[in-house]
Amino acid sequence: MLKVDSVNAFYGDVQTLFDVSMEIRENEIVTILGSNGAGKTTLIKTICNLLPIRSGSIYYKEERIDKVPPYKRVDLGMSLVPEGRRLFPDMSVMDNLLLGAYSLRDKKQIQENLEWVISLFPWLSERSKQSAGTLSGGEQQMCAIARGLMIRPQLVIFDEPSLGLAPVIVDQIFETLSKITRENNSTILLIEQNAQTALEISDRGYVLENGHVVLEGSSDTLLGSPEIQKSYLGL
C-alpha cells in the first residue's frame, strides 16, 4: 500500500535520511523503531510531504505521491496522528473531531464516522464541549487518535502514540490500534520507541538508526533478535 523507495532527505544541508526503503502492505501493522534522532519523524514528514525529499520516491497504492501537496493526503485515505498529539488546544473536543472530518462533505457520513469513533472512545461524547488543551495526556492521545480516524482512513500513521503516557494507558491505546485494523480494515504504520508493546501488536518492523534502515523483518524475528533485545528492550 505504501512504498518508500530509496528516499534521501535533508534539513538544509544536513542529511537526515539515507536511501531509506520500506514497504507497508494492506492490512498490515508495521512498526518503525528507533531512538531519538534516528530519523523517524523526518520519515513521516517526507511521507506526508511536509518535508520535500531530495531523491527517491514514495508510492501510495501504486501511485507516486511525493510531489502531491500535504493537504491531499486525507483525500487519498491517509491519516496522521502526529507526535505530541497536536490537538488544537483552544478548540473543543468536538471541534477537533469535526476538523478531523474536514475533508468530508457528506453530513451523514460525518455523523456515522463520529458515532464509530465515539464507540471506540465512549468518554468523548460526555466531554465533547471541553477545551482540548485541558484534557489529560492519555485523553489527549485518545482524542488525537479519534480525530485521525474521523475519515475512516485506509492508512493511519501513528507517530509515537505512547510518548509520555502511563503504561496502563499505553496498553489501552495499543489495544485500540489492533481493534481499528480489524474493524476498519485499515493499514497501520506505527512509529515507536516503546519496542516491546509495538512489536507485539505488529506484523513487521523496521529499525532506523541515524537515518539508515539497519534492520527489518517480521515482528517475531525482531523480538527475538539479540540487537533489538539489547538496544531497545534493555535486556
Partner 1 sequence: MNLSYWIEMIMSGVVTGTCYAMIGAGLSLIWGTLKMVNLAHGEYYMLGSYFLWTLLTVGNMPLIPAIIISIVGVVIFAAAVHFAAIRPLLRKPGWNMSPWILTLGLQILLQNLALKIWGELYRNVPYFWNTVFKPWNMFTMSGQRIIILTSTAVIILALMTVIKKTRLGRAIIATSQDGEYAMMMGINIKQIYFITYTISAGLAAVAGILLCPVYSVNPWMGATVQTKGLVVCILGGLGNIEGAIIAGILMGIVESIAVSAIGSEWRDAIAYIFLLGVLYMKPSGLFGKKKGV
Assess 207 for contact with partner 1 (CB under 8 A). Answer: no
Asked if 11 is part of the footprint of partner 1 (rule: CB under 8 A), the reply reads no
Stretch that binds partner 1, among 65-73, 174-182, 183-191, 215-223 (CB under 8 A): 65-73
Cα angle 215-221-223, degrees, rounded to a multiple of 5: 90
Smaller CB separation from partner 1, 50 or 118: 50
Which of 102, 167, 171, 227 touches partner 1 by CB under 8 A?
Answer: 102
CB of 220 within 8 A of CB of 205?
no
Binding flag, residue 69, partner 1 (CB under 8 A): yes
Interface residue with partner 1 among 32, 43, 48, 146 (CB under 8 A) is: 48
Q: Pick from 34, 39, 100, 161: which binds partner 1 (CB under 8 A)?
A: 100
Cell of residue 191, nine digits:
512509529
Q: Which 3 state secondary structure label does DSSP give 120?
A: helix
CB of 97 to partner 1, least distance (A): 10
Region near partner 1 per CB under 8 A, out of 56-64, 97-105, 121-129, 223-231: 97-105
CB of residue 130 to partner 1, shortest distance in Å: 15
Burial 73-105 (b: 16+ CB within 10 A, else e): bbeebbbbbbbebebeeeeebbbbbbebbeebe
- The CA distance from 189 to 32, in Å, is 8
Cα–Cα distance between 200 and 204 in angstroms, integer? Answer: 10
151: closest CA among 102, 197, 191?
102
165 sits near partner 1 (criterion: CB under 8 A): no
Residues that bind partner 1 (CB under 8 A): 48, 50, 69-75, 79-80, 82, 86, 88-91, 95, 98-100, 102-103, 133, 147, 151
